[in-house]
């Protein structure tokens, strides 16, 4: 398929939404973003971030956009548009799979008022999706940064942890799901393939008084450390308090893993970790629209993340989480 034909095919499957004046088809998109613009970019590279054997085209499209919307959510921003770079290898997916790839993105974009406003297509040695998401800060609300946490703030996570890591284990070894209810096993696999960005919760946390926030793309252990370092404080994580998703404990046991450490270090949950003044937790729990669970606190001390078990013993976090080597 020619580049022009592919671009026309993509354009026919996308809609222009408020905030985008001109989308696919010109040299650049035209956007109306009032106030502070918020921008982010993530790459998904075959063999590094995904394998075609464990994710279908529609889910891959969804995930490529979702991980970027999650970054905007962590700033408390409202998403507006996304630009998509697509690199196709010699064994590129066929036309139907390419349609499904963009249908997955477009379905998620529609739920969040986002326009797939442009991008680029090219040929190369591997399948790569490079998505840039653009959004705006809420009026009168400063974008939340990682660096705002203060000693005494509670560390709170949205939703549940460990589902994506357990889902990947199931995709790689279905036998680990023996004994799980089919619906639970499928929910774990879906958490890995189709993460849901917490956009509305991010806005509510930013409006409601959270001081700092980060999305849990690389795991609570590593992302909690990043938030602590940014604020110049120490993070204490209570492993017994982690809200593990249904089925995580069973999959972890079958794999010979510790369930709490899988939840803390598995990564790709795309939940939000927020530093919240204790007096604001109840109000934010009501406003977030999803469960909000305190899992630790920020303390004075050298920037570090320390985990403790139910007996108060320190548990090493070294090596947990996903960190790229470049």
Stated pTM of the model: 0.94
Model confidence pLDDT, tens digit, residues 193-228: 999 999 999 999 999 999 999 999 999 999 999 999
pLDDT at residue 92 tops 90? no
Model confidence pLDDT, tens digit, residues 168-196: 999 999 999 999 999 999 999 999 999 99
Domain ranges of the chain: 3-136, 146-315
pLDDT confidence tier of residue 304, bands split at 50, 70 and 90 = confident
Instruction: Please determine, looking at this structure, whether the domain spanning 3-136 carries the CATH number 3.40.350.10.
Output: no
pLDDT at residue 309 tops 90? no
User: Is the fold of 3-136 the same as that of 146-315?
Assistant: no
pLDDT at residue 125 tops 90? yes
Mean pLDDT of the chain: 93
Worst-scoring range by mean pLDDT, 22-26, 38-42, 319-323? 319-323
Mean pLDDT over 288-300 rounds to 96
Using CA atoms, how far apart are residues 221 and 266, in angstroms rounded to an integer?
9
CATH architecture of structural domain 146-315: Alpha-Beta Complex (3.90)
pLDDT confidence tier of residue 322, bands split at 50, 70 and 90 = low
Using CA atoms, how far apart are residues 104 and 57, in angstroms rounded to an integer?
8
Give long-range contacts, CB 8 A cutoff, 24+ apart: 137-140: 137/35, 137/36, 137/37, 137/38, 137/75, 137/76, 137/77, 137/78, 138/76, 138/77, 138/78, 138/203, 138/206, 138/207, 139/35
* Backbone dihedral region for residue 24 (phi beyond 0: left; psi -120 to 50: alpha; all else: beta): beta
């Amino acid at each position: 398929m020619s580049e022009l034909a592919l671009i026309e095919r993509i354009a026919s499957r996308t809609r222009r939404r408020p905030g985008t004046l001109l989308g696919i088809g010109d040299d650049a998109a035209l956007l109306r973003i009032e106030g502070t613009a918020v921008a982010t970019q993530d790459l998904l590279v075959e063999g590094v971030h995904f394998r075609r054997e464990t994710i279908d085209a529609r889910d891959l499209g969804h995930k490529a956009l979702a991980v970027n919307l999650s970054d905007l959510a962590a700033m408390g921003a409202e998403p507006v548009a996304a630009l998509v770079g697509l690199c196709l290898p010699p064994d590129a997916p066929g036309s139907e799979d390419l349609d499904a790839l963009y249908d997955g993105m477009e379905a998620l974009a529609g739920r969040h008022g986002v326009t797939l406003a442009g991008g680029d297509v090219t040929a190369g040695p591997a399948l790569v999706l490079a998505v840039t998401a653009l959004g705006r800060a809420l009026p009168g609300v400063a974008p939340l940064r990682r660096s705002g946490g203060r000693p005494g703030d509670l560390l709170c996570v949205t939703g549940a942890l460990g589902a994506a890591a357990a889902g990947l284990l199931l995709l790689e070894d279905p036998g680990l799901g023996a004994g799980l209810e089919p619906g639970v096993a499928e929910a774990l696999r879906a958490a890995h393939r189709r993460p849901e960005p917490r956009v509305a919760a991010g806005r509510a946390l930013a409006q409601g008084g959270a001081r700092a926030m980060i999305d849990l793309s690389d795991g609570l252990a590593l992302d909690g450390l990043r938030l602590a370092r940014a604020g110049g404080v120490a993070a204490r994580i209570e492993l017994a308090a982690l809200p593990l998703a249904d089925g995580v404990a069973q999959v972890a046991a079958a794999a010979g893993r510790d369930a709490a450490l899988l939840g803390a270090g598995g990564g790709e949950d795309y939940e939000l970790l927020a530093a919240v003044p204790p007096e604001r937790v109840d109000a934010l729990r009501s406003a977030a629209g999803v469960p909000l669970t305190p899992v630790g606190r920020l303390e004075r001390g050298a920037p570090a993340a320390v985990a403790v078990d139910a007996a108060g013993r320190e548990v090493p976090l070294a090596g947990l989480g996903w960190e790229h080597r470049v």
